[in-house]
Amino acid sequence: MKIVILDAHTANPGDLSWQPLQDLGECAVYARTSPEELVERAAGAEVLITNKVPLGAEVLAQLPQLRYIGVAATGYNVVDTAAAKARGIVVTNVPGYSTASVAQLVIALLLELTHRVGHHADAVAKGRWAACPDFSFWDFPILELAGRTLGILGYGEIGGQVGRIAQALGMRVLANRRHWRQPPPDGIEAVSQEQLLAQSDVISLHCPLTDETRHLINAQSLRLLKPTAILINTARGPLIDEEALAAALHAGHLAGVGLDVLAVEPPRADHPLFGAPRCLITPHIGWASGDARRRLIHQIAENLRAFAAGAAIHVVNS
């Protein structure tokens, strides 16, 4: 079985091993693959592994031996799944591998926005505490989370983990999802999207990106938020109208924003949120702990092993 990994660097920049996949067949590993290199590198492969390299209908038509695409992520919009299905190509993803890591980052962003630990530690390093006439100083309001309300838009696996941590911190938790297959867990209040936006002190986005959720946070919905609210997005960048969010921040609306994702990644140098007040942006690192990436690689291999055995799992185009 000929396996080609198209963009290995992000998931494994060298600190982990591809051995679980190399054990399954002849395996070519490329750190990155440009559109110009794609067809040549994929030629003759029965298996392609991609994280962010797009595999559209035109590309798939040039790869007659391809039988399987493993997406090295949970989201699989980089693959034309309908075109793959029409050609008999199975497409799989890896759900759930980064739940704990992403939820941890949500809380890290929230704690930074409410306590400004990094800012104050930097102030100490610059000598401001040593020069202070008092035993203590702070130059941002410090907020206590206990008793405040967290709203989770998109209550799935990661949203549920965030909710459990928030409850441990003493927060009230509201949740909204499109369909509740069963009642929400104890202490989680199911509310409408409008109720959640209006009542929450903190809003955390965990929705998939669809036509319905694109620009879910826009100029109109931002007006529903409390001016003291905190907004966090570790899900998908296009859930937010970034121009509208930048305008709201510059107008003094919202106490803070924490983002780990943007609509285009990497972003352009003049992105409207760069330099916006009260806005923290991290470079899409929620999924990137060593533990999560190790689970990712092992699950990619397990998906391929199941496919080779005729019992494919985590198929997204069945």
Catalytic site residues? 236, 265, 284
Cα–Cα nearest to 260, from 53, 97, 112: 112
Using a 10 angstrom Cβ sphere, with 0-12 exposed, 13-18 middle and 19 or more buried, the burial of residue 167 is middle
Beta strand 47-50 pairing with 68-71: parallel
Amino acid letter, 7: D
Amino acid letter, 245: L
| Distance separating alpha carbons of residues 163 and 178, to the nearest angstrom | 17
**Distance from first CA to last CA of the chain, Å, rounded?**
22
| Distance separating alpha carbons of residues 280 and 274, to the nearest angstrom | 9
Q: What is the DSSP string of 225-274?
A: S-TT-EEEE-S-GGGB-HHHHHHHHHTT--SEEEES--SSSSPPTT-TTT
> 203: Cβ–Cβ under 8 A, 6 or more apart, which residues?
150, 151, 153, 196, 197, 225, 229, 230, 231, 232
Q: Which region holds residue 275: left if phi is over 0, alpha if psi is between -120 and 50, else beta?
A: left
User: Alpha helices of the chain — where are they, by DSSP H?
Assistant: 19-22, 35-42, 57-60, 81-86, 99-115, 117-125, 157-168, 193-199, 219-222, 242-250, 290-308
DSSP 296: H
The CB-side HSE value for 125 (13 A sphere, CA atoms) comes to 6
